[in-house]
Amino acid sequence: MVILGIETSCDETSVGLVEKGKNSQNARLLSNFVATSLPLHSKTGGIVPEIAAREQLKYIVPVIKQALTDSNLYPPSSKLYHQSSTIYRPQIDAIAVTVGPGLLGSLLVGVETAKTLSYVWEKPIIPTNHLLGHTYANFVRENSKLKTIQFPALALIVSGGHTDLILMNGHGKIKWLGGTRDDAAGEAFDKIGRLLNLPYPGGPSIEKAALNGNPKAFNFPRPMIYSRDFDFSFSGLKAAVLREIKTIKLLDNKTRSDLAASAQQAIIEVLVAKTLKAAQKYNIKSILLGGGVAANQSLRDRFKFEIRSAKSADKIPLFVPEKWLCTDNGAMIAVAASFNYKPLHWSKITANPELYFK
């Protein structure tokens, strides 16, 4: 089955195509194309929803065409004609689209485009949760010799808008264990990046600055690291960084790097500790990371280190998508839909900015 996935929940416009066999535990990537309006948002230091949606309106059709072209499913040899008109239908089986959570204007661009294509191409459409997409980025795996993801799996989703731990007892069998009570991990990176005068988005900028910094230079709090639940909180950390900055007369590059490395270390330690605690409690067989923050190399390394150092019974296999698959993309939406194939008639599909697991 070939699925075309459309993702427009935030500032990216992305379309990806994947193929999955009926009982296969992996999906094969055919193509993925991303158009971003990031340079416009870098100027404002954050995403302006109105600007993001307006850019997405311009990009969506060219991006669909490009993704189809790259997958070799676009046209012209296999042209199919609809009655007397010249409607081309690509050789796909279904369309998947992010219906939420996300920015309403942005979601609407993808959702209305997907509905139109579903009607015109006469293809089923699968409404898909963006956060599930981040988790399923782990199922894009070409090499059959790679370890298979086993259930129960635990997914840590760390993006600009979310920090969630979810228990997966199988495809479509999901239980939300906990999430952030205030800022998401990516949001903390972005806000701390702004405090340090680093370019937006803060995550990659902090990661880069931290390479020259000492993670022990500042002893920032590790919020909720020992709490009994699986919730997170990062707004206090941001406030602690701000307090520290106010005491510094001159924010030179060395101090900026030390602050970046210390703040990054605090975020990483909390994420790793709580994920591994949940993994033990629920006898997890696979840990999956997903979302933009999962592209952070220090986070990936720390997870690997902690798992390697664990007692053999606690050495749970870790799955991490390729870095480009961690940030928003259409392929992950197509993969999530291929494992959770629940098509709806296009007229029943609506964008839901508040969509969640709970």
The answer for 45, left when phi > 0, alpha when psi is -120 to 50, beta otherwise, is left
**What are the angstrom distances between the C-alpha of 131 and each of 26, 40, 176, 292, 358?**
18, 25, 12, 11, 12
Tell me how far apart the alpha carbons of residues 76 and 100 are, in angstroms, rounded to a whole number: 34
| Cβ at position 127, least distance to Zn ion in Å | 16
H/E element, 104: helix 104-121
C-beta of 87 vs 211, nearer to ligand KG4: 211
Q: Does the protein bind Zn ion through residue 164 (CB under 5 A)?
A: no
95: enclosing H helix or E strand = strand 94-100
Backbone angles phi, psi at 329, to 5 degrees: -155, 155
Judging by beta carbons within 10 Å of its beta carbon (0-12, 13-18, 19+), is residue 298 exposed, middle or buried?
middle
Q: Which region among 112-120, 255-263, 266-274, 323-331 touches Zn ion (by CB under 5 A)? A: 323-331
By beta-carbon proximity to ligand KG4, the closer residue of 278 and 295 is 295
Using the contact rule CB under 5 A, the part of the chain among 151-159, 211-219, 234-242, 278-286 near Zn ion is: 151-159
Q: Which residues are at the interface with ligand KG4 (CB under 6 A)? A: 10, 159-161, 186, 189-190, 201-204, 207, 291-293, 295-296, 327-328
The site that binds Zn ion (CB under 5 A) totals a number of residues, namely: 2
CB of 201 to Zn ion, least distance (A): 12
**Of the candidates 240, 236, 226, the residue with the CA atom closest to the CA atom of residue 182:** 236
Helix (H) or strand (E) holding 13: strand 12-19
Residue among 128, 129, 127 nearest 349 (CA): 127
Judged by CB, which is closer to Zn ion: 26, or 159? 159
259 contacts which partner out of ligand KG4, Zn ion, none, CB within 5 to 8 A by kind?
none
Which residue of the chain is nearest Zn ion when measured via CB? 159
Contacted entry of ligand KG4, Zn ion, none for residue 127, CB cut-off 5 to 8 Å set by kind: none
Does 328 contact Zn ion by CB under 5 A? yes
Judged by CB under 5 A, the residue of 26, 128, 159, 265 near Zn ion is 159
Q: Smaller CB distance to Zn ion: residue 210 or 294?
A: 294
Query: Cβ of residue 156: shortest distance to Zn ion, in angstroms?
Result: 13
Give the Cα separation of 346 and 358 in Å (integer): 24
Which residues of this protein are in contact with Zn ion, per CB under 5 A? 159, 328
